[in-house]
Amino acid sequence: MHYLSRTALCAGIAGLLILAADTPAWATETAASEIVIIAEGDTITDDLYAAGARVLVEGTIEGDLVAFAAEEVLISGEVTGSVLAMAPTVSVSGEVARSVRFTANRLSVSGSIGADLVGAALRVGLSPESVVDGDVLVWAFRMTAAGTIGSDLEGTQRSFDLEGSVGGDVDVSVNHLVITGPLEVAGDLGYRSTSDAEGMDQATVEGVVAHKTPLPPNIRIRALGLLTRFLVILGLTCAALLVAWGWPGRTDSAGHRARVSVWRALGRGALVILSPFIVAGIAALIAGLVPASASLPLLAIFVPLILALSGVVLVLSLVAGVPAILALGRALPGERGLYGSIVIGSIAAGLLWMMPWIGWLLPLLVLPIGLGAWMLSFREEGSQPTTRQTA
């Protein structure tokens, strides 16, 4: 079981949970500024929707809090309702009477939560002073829980340090579980991991301790995966034949470039495929250099650009690999025409893609080489003779 891959999906799962939260349809108090602060001694007598670079709650909110921040959401005061928070850093050192739902890079809790704690973050820390009266359901890369949990503790973590007390059951999937101090569990302690937990001699469990090994992929799931790959190969082969039928000369030229200029094609194609990530990196660099107040306008510029580039790359990927497949088919023994080479190349590529250890390399090579070959065929048109083949 690859726990890191589960954690990579955690933000999407937490987002669905957040959307399902029981929050009011309308908020009577809204605030949007670089810094939204409810100062100590101030009281908001209704729900509050807040957005800004930072959201600081030092006073009292007599209702729910919905907060979106570019930097952090810090709650050191009191919220009599529930909290929904999305920010790189979310901290609860005060009191929340009901549930906390979050998506963050880092979550820290040293205060009290009257109901459930649900969400996802790369790093989660529940200090020894923290109190969560309800369930804790968290997806995290690394988690530390040292406080009091009134009900069940569940979720998926790659690394989990646990101590304190749990009023219900513990049921987690982890790569590495360590009991770092005295631990009291009123129910069962179950963990799914490839290795034994450390420090179990410090745990007092009233129920049973169950070490469960990671589940192997279900045979039906594996069969469905193979069927999906077969259908993808069949669809791409049909698309490749259609492209070759519509533009035989251009396809033949691009296939020739994929054979004689492999490294040039690979470099050019990789540059195009990676363009959304390059733009995203530039955006992140600029956002880190400018003031927080300017980061949101920059996001409004870069996010549509990144989405547009991603869409273009996705569309191109449907036919980008045709020249590479054609080159592979012609490299195999035997004499065959344009269409026959595409079919044989598709079969060979499909068999390679099915192989467990090297299959993941195939898209990383076929797509950029093919895309770069298309680019070279347009740029260097006429430098190599092309032939129009129909068989």
Q: Which two tokens mark 264?
A: 């040039």
Torsion of CA 229, 230, 232, 234, to 10 degrees: 160
| 303, 81 Cβ separation under 8 angstroms | no
Average pLDDT rounded to a whole number, residues 281-294: 77
Rounded Cα distance, 194 and 210, in Å: 13
Q: Cβ atoms within 10 A of the Cβ of 93, count? A: 16
Confidence of residue 29 (pLDDT cuts 50, 70, 90): low
Is 12's pLDDT higher than 70? Answer: no
| The pLDDT of residue 13 is above 70 | no
Kindly report the pTM of this predicted structure. Answer: 0.57
Please give the residue that has the higher pLDDT: either 361 or 148: 148
Q: What is the mean pLDDT of residues 232-239?
A: 84
Distance CA 203, CA 25 (A): 44
Lowest mean pLDDT: which of 84-93, 107-116, 295-304? Answer: 295-304
pLDDT band at 154 (very low <50, low <70, confident <90, very high): very high
Distance from C-alpha of 325 to C-alpha of 259, rounded to nearest angstrom: 10
Distance from C-alpha of 295 to C-alpha of 298, rounded to nearest angstrom: 5
Residue 328 has pLDDT above 50, yes or no: yes
Of residues 3 and 363, more confidently modeled: 363
Q: What percent of the chain has pLDDT over 90?
A: 34
Residue 101 pLDDT grade (very low, low, confident, very high; cuts 50, 70, 90): very high
Which range in 62-66, 231-235, 280-284 is most confidently predicted, on average pLDDT? Answer: 62-66
pLDDT at 15 (0 to 100): 46
What is the pLDDT at residue 144?
94
Average predicted confidence (pLDDT) for the chain: 83
Average pLDDT over residues 34-63: 88
The pLDDT of residue 117: 95
Instruction: Name the E strands within 186-248.
Output: 189-192, 203-205, 209-212
CB 151 within 8 A of CB 167: yes
The answer to which of 74-83, 129-138, 205-214 has the lowest mean pLDDT is 205-214
The confidence score (pLDDT) of residue 99 equals 95
**pLDDT for 240-282, tens place per residue?**
888 889 888 889 999 888 888 889 889 999 998 999 999 888 8
